[in-house]
Amino acid sequence: MQNAESRYLPQMTDAGLDAAVAVAAVDEHGAHSDGHIAAERALTLYLDKREIVTLMTLGTQPELLVLGWLRNQRLIRSIEQLEAIQVDWETGSVAVTTHDGIAGLDERLAKKTVTTGCGQGTVFGGLMDELEQIRLTPMPLSQKRIYQLLEQLNHHNEVYRRAGAVHGCALCQDRQIIRFVEDVGRHNAVDAIAGHMWAERIAGRDKLFYTTGRLTSEMVIKVAQMGISVLLSRSGITQMGLEIARKVGVTLIARAKGRHFLVYNGAENLTFDDIPERRPRALPPSLPQASSGN
């Protein structure tokens, strides 16, 4: 790992835009209602002047999104290959230039056609092969730490509270939120965090990844690729998300809200050191309150 001074970064614009847009609506009373909605912008990526993809994004951190997208698609293997990432919202485009081109880009794009799928934006085929080589080292974790993080995360989710219709993702270490990103698609938010980790040379092994979104196969794959072994979500999980988590060794904690959570994989890595009191269950009203020995 290089130190901060000598760290190479491509030349990047700083073209983040506001996430929420003021808009008027009519409510159920027929009354005018002012509010905010989430922005959604098309950003077409040109790699050495060749059109590659159009990303739909909130647009707050477009350079990191593009960096993480290129990394997660495995189009770029090293950040040193990149000369510049230049976002131009006037044309809705981002020009990525490399120092020496990408060897075999045509073949790689052609191959992608076959497998690029509806996995919510993932190029899925190649990733599954790569997964076979990933085995993460489990990270011990305490219940107290989970509650500390959940409380801090409540202070984020700003766009969500103002405008809704976005997903938030956070990269966490110990009790700190290192980076919080919101976007219209959770795959974008996780790509932007991957971009941040790549730019800052942040390793995944002692990190925890939080998302408001569901833990589908795609999310588990991306987080595993980033070397992170703990995945915490406010939402639920899918069967394939669980299968992949078991295979690569991701501790999977879902439905995490308030004091509640469900651990679907890796419960052995968790210390239960802050177990909430159980609320006494009210007896059904039809039962006499003092008649039963149970």
Residue 180: CB minimum distance to its own copies, A: 19
Q: What is the DSSP secondary-structure string of 36-69?
A: EEE--EEEEEEETTEEEEEEEE--SSHHHHHHHH
Q: Give the H or E element holding residue 173.
A: strand 167-173
Q: At residue 61, what is the residue type?
A: Q
Q: Per-residue string for binding with its own copies, 184-213, x by CB under 8 A?
A: xx-xx--x----------------------
Please report whether residue 140 would count as binding its own copies according to CB under 8 A: no
Tell me if 272 contacts its own copies by CB under 8 A.
Answer: yes
Q: Binding to its own copies by residue 157, rule CB under 8 A?
A: no
Q: Terminus-to-terminus CA distance in the chain, angstroms? A: 62
d(CA 193, CA 215): 16
Tokens of 221: 């794959």
70 binds its own copies (CB under 8 A): no
Residue 116 interacting with its own copies (CB under 8 A): yes
Task: Output 9 or 110, the one with its CB closest to its own copies.
Answer: 110
Q: Does 228 bind its own copies (CB under 8 A)?
A: no
Q: CA-CA distance, 92 to 39, in Å (whole number)? A: 14
131 binds its own copies (CB under 8 A): no
Out of 26, 103, 282, 290, name the contact with its own copies by CB under 8 A.
Answer: 26
Which residue, 225, 228, 212, is CA-closest to 169?
212
Contact pick of 152, 157, 238, 269 for its own copies (by CB under 8 A): 238
Closest distance to its own copies from the beta carbon of 3 (Å): 34
Q: Is the Cβ–Cβ distance between 109 and 74 less than 8 Å? A: no
CB of 186 to its own copies, least distance (A): 10
Return the residue of 79, 81, 83, 125 that touches its own copies, per CB under 8 A: 125
